[in-house]
Structure 1
Amino acid sequence: MDRRTTPFPPLARRRWLGAAAATALLGGALLAPAWAQGEAAGPRVPVAEAARRPVGQALLLDATIEAQQQATLAAQASGRIVQLHVKAGDRVRAGQVLAVIDDRETTAGVQRAGGAVAQAEAELRNAEAHARRTRELRAQGFVSQAALDAAEAQAAAARAALQQAKAAQSQAALAQGFTRLTAPFDGFVLATHAEAGDLAAPGRPVLTVYAPQPLRATVHVPASQSALAERAQRVEVRLPDGRWVQPAGRSRLPAADPVAQTVEWRLPLVAADAQGVLPGQAVKVRFAAGSDERLVVPASALLRRGELTAVYVAAPAGAPAGFVLRAVRVGADHGEAGIEILSGLQPGERVALDPVRAGLRGAQPAQ
């Protein structure tokens, strides 16, 4: 049978006609001129001119948020940890008992010292009464002066023995206090370094606590850049939420790290700026000193894809309108002034402020 004269089944005919119509529409779109499609769909992207502008000589470094009040509580007595009342993240109050070390020995010492004090007090009462009676008998001439001197010496010795017993009692109470770790201030538990049942020893860390306020940014400045940090006219801290804030002050440690060859700077933050910031978070610190001209572009013009940093450059006058992607090497971030361009761009060239839209087909500069 001739296939050319064989009619299509109804379902196959509808499928064939639909596919033919879709092909015709798609073919018409693909055959349309490229400039016509660009005119129809190409977005208008605002641009900015790359220019040399006066910016401060800046040093941008990584820093870490730290609590100004932070303490690592260590055991002062030997023994097994029998109670650990807190865990990491718990809020604590000043004076709150956080951990207890086995205190049976120290408790016995306190009881023994208390008994010694009671005995010394009884002996003192007896000695003072004997001295008083001897004094009365001496006044009546019934005893010698030597007997009175001996009675008064015995009373003085009893008073000294009582003082010694009380000192021993205070020492025993102090030793018992070493078996209890208490919070030195209001704050939170940052970490626990031991668990209930572990053996505690003098100097072994058990807990670390910190106060949520005040906070500071700690930055380690390379010794080679220390002079620039010293003459910085402005110091700024970039918080995790992107805000640039000025610290309440700045202080530099008077010595450099002999291994890393860095100098530690501490920048306390204003309480209002530090809301929501946590110790341990990474921040940026910028030391700005003096002024110099640098080629800068707005931060929004940069396109970052992995290790690639690029900008979309508008075509020069006389060339077909559009953008060309160009890799650049960036330098310091100067905040509102823009980001420094070290290579890949020339002054006067225009860059797209929205690199995502500039990469669309048919995109053209808005001005």
Structure 2
Amino acid sequence: MKALNYTLQNSKQLLIAAASLLIINTATAQQGNHVDIDTLIATEVERVQYLTLDAKVEPIKSATVAAQTSGRVLAIHYDVNDLVSVGSPLLEITSEEQGAELAAAEAELARAKAINIEAQAQLKRYKTLFPQGAISQGSMDEATAKAKSSQQAVSAANASLIKAKQTVNYTVISAPYTGRITEKLVEEGETVVIGQGLLSGYATNSLRAVFFVPQQYRQQVANLTKINFYLDEHQPNRQYQSNHITPFAFSHQADHSIEVRAILDNQQDELFAGQWLKTKLAIDKKSIISLPLTTLHQIGDVTSVYRQVGDNYLQTQIRVGKHFIDENGVPSFEVLAGVMPDDIIVKNANHYILHLHKLTAN
């Protein structure tokens, strides 16, 4: 019963559309010689055919910062999704043990310096007395060895001090680059050990779009010098251009597609990792008949234009292909059937119909 009602409803709509077409065409036949109508000539144009692809935004730089010293987590200054600047302190670890090691290293360096000063002074005195025979050769050799040893001890103590200072610096984890936090692996109060992951994130200023192209379009990919990406293919003004394109030299075994990476500039921080974009790859050119969208008239399921036949303009049903914006910025569509090159078409179908209704009413 529902199918019968649906069929009857469609039949009724078609009858209404046919009646409207008959009225309009009759008025056209009667008034065609007296109406001044803007027209255009249908011509074939060469249009590039595009393959629309999905591209995923990925970070070029991503990392997990890990603990380089042991201790308890005192504070975490950022949370997941926070944007951080390069060098910003991300997390703090207790530093009592590291501070004690630093103090010991400083004391050892001071001791080594004092011993070295004494050894160098003694060597200097021995060098003065040795030519006079007051110092034996054995004593002179011992003083020389002691001076060299004490000098090396200063260098070793200084290295230990540098290491201790660095260990103290490890208690404050800083951001390696400007980016966004994606994962927090520890919480305040937890004890961490060397090598344990703490926070993960990625650099936001430089991202890349990754998409896959069927293998038969390898040559078109190889010829690419630039490519545009869109948040929405119906809003081409919101686009991101890339001049750094890297197609892989091998295909993936699963579907034999070619992976292509394109670097994106994200200085305004509008894009984020994991986001999907659209891109179009030019794959071919073909001749089509295109008409402005204003020539199109639609009643129910009947799509048509007004084509000049003799002195009249008759409604002609057509098959419509893809809609697009032409090189002049005019919304247009591709005609698949119903119009031939050199046909004369009414430029604005809606204005034409309104004019006909006025004439019919008069």
* TM-score between the two structures when normalised by the length of structure 1: 0.63
The count of corresponding residues between Structure 1 and Structure 2 is 305
Deviation at 1:86, TM superposition (A): 1.6
Q: Give me the whole-angstrom Cα distance separating, in 2, the residues matched to 1:68 and 1:348.
A: 50
Structure 2 residue 157 is the aligned partner of structure 1 residue 165: yes
CA contact (8 A) 2:226 2:241 kept: no
- The answer on whether the counterparts of 1:73 and 1:206 sit within 8 Å (CA) in structure 2 is yes
What is the aligned counterpart of 2:200 among 201, 207, 210?
207
One-letter code of the match for 1:336?
D
Contact 2:47–2:285 (Cα < 8 Å) also in 1: yes
Which of 108, 119, 124 is residue 116 of structure 2 equivalent to? 124
Alignment of structure 1 residues 247-326 onto 2, 5 Å: 247-252=241-246, 254-256=248-250, 257=252, 261-269=256-264, 275=268, 277-280=270-273, 281-293=275-287, 313-314=303-304
Contact 1:233 1:289 in 2 (8 A): no
Relative distance call for 1:137 and 1:193 in structure 2 (3 A) is same
State the Cα RMSD in Å: 4.7
> Could you tell me which amino acid in structure 2 is paired with residue 58 of structure 1?
Y
The structure-2 alpha-carbon separation of the partners of 1:157 and 1:205, relative to structure 1 and needing over 3 Å to count, comes to: same
Which residue of structure 1 aligns with residue 181 of structure 2? 190
Measured after TM superposition, the shift of residue 91 of structure 1 is 4.3
1:258-288, CA deviations, whole angstroms, 9 ceiling, x for partnerless residues? 55654443334467xx757221332211122
> TM-score, normalized by length of structure 2?
0.64
Structure 1 contact 237–246 (Cα < 8 Å) conserved: yes
Aligned-residue identity in percent:
23
Unaligned runs of 5+ in 2: 1-18, 25-37, 357-362
CA contact (8 A) 1:60 1:285 kept: yes
Aligned-pair distance for 1:55? 2.1
Which of 161, 171, 175 aligns to 1:179? It is: 171
What's the counterpart of residue 305 of structure 1? none
Distance 1:146 1:312 in 2: 117
Alpha-carbon distance, 1:102 to partner:
3.6
- In 2: Cα distance, 1:300 partner to 1:126 partner: 100
1:158 CA displacement: 0.8
Unaligned runs of 5+ in 1: 1-33, 40-45, 303-309
Report the alpha carbon displacement of residue 252 of structure 1 after superposing the two structures with TM.
1.0
Alignment of 1:33-52 (within 5 A): none
2:103 aligns to what SS in structure 1? helix
**Mapping 1:1-367, distance limit 5 Å:** 53-66=45-58, 70-185=62-177, 187-194=178-185, 195-200=187-192, 202=195, 204-211=197-204, 213-232=205-224, 235-240=227-232, 242-243=236-237, 245=239, 247-252=241-246, 254-256=248-250, 257=252, 261-269=256-264, 275=268, 277-280=270-273, 281-293=275-287, 313-314=303-304, 336=326, 345-346=336-337, 348=339
